[in-house]
Amino acid sequence: MSTPQERIVPTDLRNEMSRSYLEYAMSVIVGRALPDARDGLKPVHRRILYAMHELGLTADRPFRKCARVVGEVLGKYHPHGDTAVYDALVRMAQDFSMRSPLINGHGNFGSVDNDPPAAMRYTECRLQSLTSNALLQDIESETVDFIDNFDGSQQEPIVLPARIPQLLLNGSSGIAVGMATNIPPHNLGELIDGVIALIRNPEITNAQLMSYIPGPDFPTGGQILGTNGIYEAYTTGRGSVTMRGVATIETLEHRGRPDREAIIVTELPYQTNKAALIEKIADMVNERRIDGISDIRDESDRDGMRIVIELKRDAYPRVVLNNLYKQTPLQNNFGVNMLALVNGEPQLLGLKQMLEVFLDFRIETITRRTQFELRKAEERDHILQGYLIALENLDAIISLIRHAADAPIAKQELIESYGLSSNQADAILQMQLRRLTALEAEKIQQEHEALQEKIADLQDILARRERILDIIETELGQLHTTHNNPRRTIIEQAEGELTDISLIANEQVLILLTEQGYIKRMPVDTFEAQSRATRGKSGTRMKEDDVIEHFITCCTHDNVLFFSDRGVAYSVAAYQIPVGSRTARGIPVVQMLPIPRDEKITSVLAVSEFTDDDYLVMLTQGGYVKKTVLSAFSNIRANGLIAVSLEEGDQLRWVRLAKESDSILIGSRQGMTIHFQADQTQLRPLGRPTRGVRAMSLKEGDEPISMDILPAQVVAKVAQANEIESDEEAEELEFDSSNQAGPWVLVVTGGGLGKRVPVSKFRLQNRAGMGLRAIKFRKDQDHLVALRIVNEEDEMLIVTSRGIIIRQAVDAISIQSRMATGVQVQRLDGDDAIAAVALVPPAIEEEVLDAMSD
């Protein structure tokens, strides 16, 4: 027959598994993974700090071996592995993990390179002064509840009586069952200011609190980009904060070698492994995923972090740094998930909720401490009142004690004769004879009066909530004075959010692209203005069979649009194009744009802002023209965007910016021009993947060679010429250059000839006509290379096929009729020829530059 202990109890497996798993999950959530919202600690951290407090390891005492502390924690409070306890202890001592370390470590406690700490038998520790003053102060004053430890042999606190919001100060991270927490660290002074602001204004909002607590303050410094993620996290409890390391660009001096530019990293994002970062950068350089880096080394020492990333001579530091931000942990996101235990239950808390939970807990601890102090004061005063009764009846009491048979009888007679309590009678019997002197009697009276005042004050504190809040504010102010330190992490506000363009001065530059695909950027002031018909300066060093093909001027903040012969548009910021000297060849454009080998860039355009009021006018080699709204190109994909549909054998050649009221001037290789309006009647807007309409009728062997846009205010002048139908000879006879006001059409030929023709001489026509002649060539082999609309104050840059560049004022070129042959604008060597003409944009006003730099 079986005993009761051997009986099998039938149980539903589904219910048993569900119950057991839930119990395990809650055990992990409450007892291991999530911090308490009141003191911001998990049980293991709380037990370590309390054990060190019990051992007397305060900041003014000698260090003690970590193994001793770990043994104390394991034996009394935390029945788990020693590795878990030691790892938690080490983390609380790491100044790169904790914003305000709670433990002062002596020895090797690891590094940002993820080096492991030394074994606990070698390292030593003690509490930081902040820990004693802000977390463990008043723990003996019954401010918190205690419970039995795992075997019932000791008592341990449920929570520490924190005086600061420790959960936000050092943050917390942990993975429980079905939930996780990830709270960033903050600045102590800012947190104290935030709590004080909440005390003074309980209705304060999260947005108002952010003026005191602007965001996380990571121990490793770095930068936070933008405030939207911070606000979302503080409001909802969840958000994403973008962290970025601090890097500067410096010029390194080498003995016997040319100076090199280098990126110097001095601060890393929070929880970034420095050694792993350097290894990743090196691997990406070896795999050619990042170009422009020649060497990388770690020069960090006890004075601070310093990672030196030395660049190649032709590298553009900003582009390399942008790639490092994009592809390496030098820029990272911190996923905020502010989950903590409130009354033993996990809750997602916003900033204000966290501070309110802390403040409520602080009010409770002050109340309990005051009640404890009041009870102790009343107990002490009760004894003093017994002493005072004894002193008033000193002779009678002495006689009573002398004649009593023993102490219990004397105690009983004292109680019955003088109405004393048991405690008062015991105190009188234990009173030393020296307390009977007059001086000691006076001290007892003074202590009694002081205790009466203290008791009244403590009772007033308990009766008035505002007194408790004043005490909290005073204690916070003391901690602020003693332990506050400056913020380490820089927060870039939304209106000045750190973007690549904000780090680049908006300067005038010129961009050159050769036929073989080499591109570079140069400051416009590289070329000072020269006289007409001079030779010019070399603008680039090219291979013998290479020539300059595209040449534009713009500002560094502009977007540069590249259009290929296949009708595909690409985009890159002007400042991302590497700077080159006058004699530098540049870099292959394929390093910046994903252009296939059989594709060629045929037009380059600078755009400052993508709007619906502006249009792109495109002209193909076959003479088709179309107009598409500029905003359709505001988001060009990395692999390009189709700009125009082309017929078999046709190519996209020219792209210009225009408005609805502007007009279009197109020139052909043989010197013909056509001028028509860009409005709905002549050229209606079309979508991107369309072909366009016929621009002009061309003679056999002729082809479009140039296109420019006339602004709306100029079109009115040109409209007057529609009524003039004089022949070319009559026009030549009646032309007077002294009476021809601007703007003008700048006409330049490949042979180096040029002239200015008044725009009124190019009357408006209907699209698809033959047009008018723009110049009479001196030599049969000469041809037209540029038609540009210019004003008197303009300057132009002319580049030849061999890369010779000349900059000269437009007013140095004479004004002539359409049938004139022009004047020499640049002296050419041998078989060299003019390849392109670009205008220097007007100078940017000084106040605009100042505003941009701000």
Phi, psi of 202 (to 5 degrees): -60, -20
The strand pairing partners of 537, in sequence order, are 805
- Check: CB of residue 164 under 8 Å from CB of residue 188: yes
Candidates 46, 36, 35, 44; CA nearest to 135 is 46
Roughly what angle, to the nearest 10 degrees, separates helices 351-392 and 465-483?
Answer: 110
Residue 842 preceded by cis peptide, ω within 30: no
Amino acid at 854: D
| Cα separations in angstroms, 266 against 40, 156, 244, 489 | 30, 43, 11, 12
Roughly what angle, to the nearest 10 degrees, separates helices 351-392 and 188-200?
Answer: 80
Amino acid at 322: N
The Cα diameter of the chain in Å comes to 153
Within 708-768, residue ranges assigned H as helices are 712-719, 728-734
Amino acid at 372: F
Six token digits for residue 617: 């006018």
d(CA 279, CA 297): 10
- Check: CB of residue 760 under 8 Å from CB of residue 655: no
d(CA 51, CA 82): 14
d(CA 548, CA 785): 13
- Check: CB of residue 786 under 8 Å from CB of residue 551: no
d(CA 813, CA 741): 14
Catalytic site includes residue 122: yes
Q: What angle do CA 313, 318, 323 make, to 5 degrees?
A: 100
Question: What burial class does residue 215 get, using C-beta atoms within 10 Å of its C-beta: 0-12 exposed, 13-18 middle, 19+ buried?
Answer: buried
d(CA 540, CA 526): 12
In the chain, % helix, strand, coil (3-state, to 5) comes to 35, 25, 40
- Check: CB of residue 394 under 8 Å from CB of residue 402: no
d(CA 455, CA 373): 9
Phi, psi of 304 (to 5 degrees): 150, 180
* Contacting residues for 536 by C-beta, under 8 A, at least 6 apart: 530, 798, 800, 804, 805, 806, 807, 826
**Helix (H, G, I), strand (E, B), or coil: what is residue 396?**
helix
- Check: CB of residue 565 under 8 Å from CB of residue 652: yes
Amino acid at 129: S
Q: Which of 122, 234, 316, 325 is catalytic?
A: 122
| Cα separations in angstroms, 77 against 44, 128, 136 | 9, 21, 17
Q: Which residues are catalytic?
A: 122
